[in-house]
């Protein structure tokens, strides 16, 4: 990336950067039933709003939105649960614990319970970055992280990258 972090933690774009942000993440479901389950998971369970939908049956698609972040879901597509180079995607939340509990109660696997970590950053030097996160698996086999900045309990681990 061609970015600089300034003393006030604002990221400054350099002149030759042509992209502004990630627009959306897309999921291809295994079939129409999996599409309905996936919509229910992200819309009803996690609270994303439908921005728009198009197509019908195996050609149906929906764009979901949450505070400017978007996810596109396609009814069918040739997919497997582990393709490409994306390891996971993260949702920003103030409460990873309640998100994790909702997912667990709905019957989806939780692969990492909510944990507190404090990273010792190398840039800016000697700066601690507290965070809390958990991981689950969604209805298409996607790995989802629920991520919160600066929400620590008394137990934490310090990592250095």
β-bridge partners, 135:
112, 145
pLDDT per position as a tens digit, 129-151: 888 999 999 998 899 999 888 74
Residue 8 pLDDT > 80, yes or no? Answer: no
103-114 confidence digits (pLDDT tens): 999 999 999 999
Sign (positive or negative) of CA dihedral 134, 137, 138, 142? positive
List, in sequence order, every residue forming a beta bridge with 52; answer none if it has no partner.
63
Count the Cβ atoms, other than its own, within 10 Å of residue 105.
Answer: 9
Two tokens, residue 99: 């998100």
Q: Is 116 exposed, middle or buried (0-12, 13-18, 19+ CB in 10 A)?
A: middle
Which residue has better confidence, 95 or 127?
95
pLDDT in tens, 66-92: 888 888 888 986 555 555 556 688 888
**N-term to C-term CA, the chain:** 17
Q: Which residue has the tokens 């180079």?
A: 85
Record the pTM: 0.65
**Mean pLDDT score of the chain, rounded to an integer?**
78
């Amino acid at each position: 990336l061609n970015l600089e972090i300034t003393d006030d933690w604002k990221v400054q774009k350099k002149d030759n950067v042509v992209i502004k942000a990630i627009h959306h993440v897309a999921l291809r479901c295994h079939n129409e039933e999996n599409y309905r389950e996936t919509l229910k998971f992200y819309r009803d369970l996690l609270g994303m709003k439908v921005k728009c939908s198009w197509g019908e049956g195996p050609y149906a698609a929906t764009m979901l939105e949450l505070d400017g972040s978007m996810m596109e879901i396609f009814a069918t597509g040739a997919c497997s649960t582990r393709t490409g180079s994306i390891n996971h995607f993260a949702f920003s939340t103030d409460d990873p614990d309640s998100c994790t509990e909702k997912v667990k109660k709905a019957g989806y696997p939780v692969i990492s319970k909510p944990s507190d970590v404090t990273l010792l950053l190398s840039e800016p030097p000697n700066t601690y970055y507290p965070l809390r996160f958990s991981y689950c698996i969604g209805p298409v086999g996607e790995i989802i992280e629920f991520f919160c900045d600066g929400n620590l309990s008394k137990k934490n681990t310090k990592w250095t990258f």
